[in-house]
Structure 1
Amino acid sequence: MAQIRKLPPAAPQPREAQPAKVAPLWVSTVATLVFGILYAILPEHITLGPSWLPLVLELVIILPGTTASLIRHPLSARTNRVLAFCLLGITTTALIIGVILLITTLPERHEGREAISLLRTGALLWISNVLVFGLWYWEIDGDGPHKRATAGHQAADFLFPQQADGNTHNWIPHFVDYLFLGFTAAIALSPADTYPLSRRAKALMMVEALIAMTILTILIGRAINII
């Protein structure tokens, strides 16, 4: 009788790699609305047009995406990215105009009673600076949250400490990580534990530090001298 050869057991098929999770997107939306609220309470002489205008424009842009998510028909990642850059354009323009107007109207504010208002305005603009650039870092790093998830949250435009080993623990950067990056850049005028890798990241950090330095040294310093 012919011997029957036993076939070797089939090698197990590898499971398809599951894409990494996308960090929650609603936090950045809330941060954008917080900027609009902070801008709305700025003095009218610091804003170009009504101070509430950026907040209204933000709501108009955010509403379609929020509605689509609520009815379980979310917008595509490409559409969300376009809307995100529209929001960044509005917030960045409003911030820069506010800083320029504060500088140009500074010589007129020399009385003691103006000092508290000047400090309050400088603080609002400084916080707005942190929010705006936190949003920029969140959106440009690795070309946005969806692309970062596809790439397994590897270091792209910024290198977080958790990514130094190639992100072997599948760490996911959330918006608060980029907000902390914006905070350290605005208060220390340099990166702390997170390093910019790309030219666009370095350029953005330089702009944020320049705005923060202007607010901290010129505007708030002038208010203290008035006191």
Structure 2
Amino acid sequence: MEHDHGWREVEPDGETRWPMAAAVVVAMGVTISLPSDLRLGGPWVLPVISGLLLVALLAGDPGRISRRTTELRVASVALITVLSVGAMWSTFRLVVDILDAGPTTDSATELLQASACVWLGTVIACALLYFELDCGGAAARAERMPRSPDLAFPQQLNPGVGPDGWRPHFVDYLYLGLTNATAFSPTDVMPLARWAKMVMSFQAVTSLVITGLVVARAVNVLR
């Protein structure tokens, strides 16, 4: 049933969890591949914690994301917090390493590989944040899309361009994280909630700092 402002009730048919789980596994691999001075803790600390939380989510709500329980919500928020803290720490250490001409920045190849891992980790962490916080999370979105979303996708701003009952899935949030990190600003997805504006601003500034400092340091190393 369609209402004003592009809001629609949708059937409680949750999206599959596997794209989100695959992104978490990639983030775990990125953490393991980081140089030791850019990693928070040992090579397996954050990946093991993330893996256990992911297994708990898959066991508690396998297949499609449709259950809304306090335990699942806590596990999901904890998982994203672990990945976000790890990404922020790696970004901070990379910036310090570049400014202090640390060992990771002595080689252009190592610098580019490390910075690519850090940048990818921030993209995935932010995509998971958008995915978990927008409209109360995937399970809440499957049950009911609100009249005023936190993040407005083109299909919500102009319902005529999307199918009836359209709602964003993880791939849409991953696309948002990628485009925001490369354009340093919103593209086709508009942040409406204050938290969304803050996270997107932080991601854009972080991506800009990483790109600018890495390019400048790589030029100096190659001279």
Amino acid at match of 2:82: I
Q: Within the alignment, does 1:139 sit opposite 2:98 as a pair?
A: no
Question: What do residues 43-72 of structure 1 show as CA deviations (whole Å, max 9, x unaligned)?
Answer: 01111321221111011212233234569x
Amino acid at match of 2:168: P
2:22 to 8, 30, 33: 30
1:211 to 188, 206, 209: 206
Amino acid at match of 2:180: A
Shift of 1:195: 0.4
Q: Which residue of 1 aligns with 2:3?
A: none
Residues 30 and 105 (structure 1), Cα distance of their counterparts in 2 relative to 1, 3 Å cut = same
Output the TM-score relative to the length of structure 2. Answer: 0.84
CA contact (8 A) 1:19 1:152 kept: no
Residues 120 and 159 (structure 1), Cα distance of their counterparts in 2 relative to 1, 3 Å cut = same
Amino acid at match of 1:58: S
Question: What do residues 172-226 of structure 1 show as CA deviations (whole Å, max 9, x unaligned)?
Answer: 2111110110011100001111100100000000111111111100123311331
Q: Which residue of 1 aligns with 2:5?
A: none
Q: Which residue of 1 aligns with 2:6?
A: none
Q: Which residue of 1 aligns with 2:115?
A: 122
1:185 to 171, 180, 184: 180
* Rg (Cα) greater in structure: 1
User: Which 5+ residue runs of structure 2 have no aligned equivalent?
Assistant: 1-8
Shift of 1:152: 3.5
What percentage of aligned pairs have identical amino acids? 28
Residues 168 and 49 (structure 1), Cα distance of their counterparts in 2 relative to 1, 3 Å cut = closer
CA contact (8 A) 1:118 1:220 kept: no
Which segment drifts farther, 163-172 or 126-135?
A: 163-172
Paired with 2:204 and 2:26, the residues of 1 have a C-alpha distance of 21
| Aligned residue pairs, count | 209
User: Which 5+ residue runs of structure 1 have no aligned equivalent?
Assistant: 1-16
CA contact (8 A) 2:10 2:142 kept: no
Shift of 1:18: 6.5
Residues 153 and 111 (structure 1), Cα distance of their counterparts in 2 relative to 1, 3 Å cut = closer
Structure with the higher helix share, 1 or 2: 2
Output the TM-score relative to the length of structure 1. Answer: 0.83
Q: Which residue of 1 aligns with 2:91?
A: 99
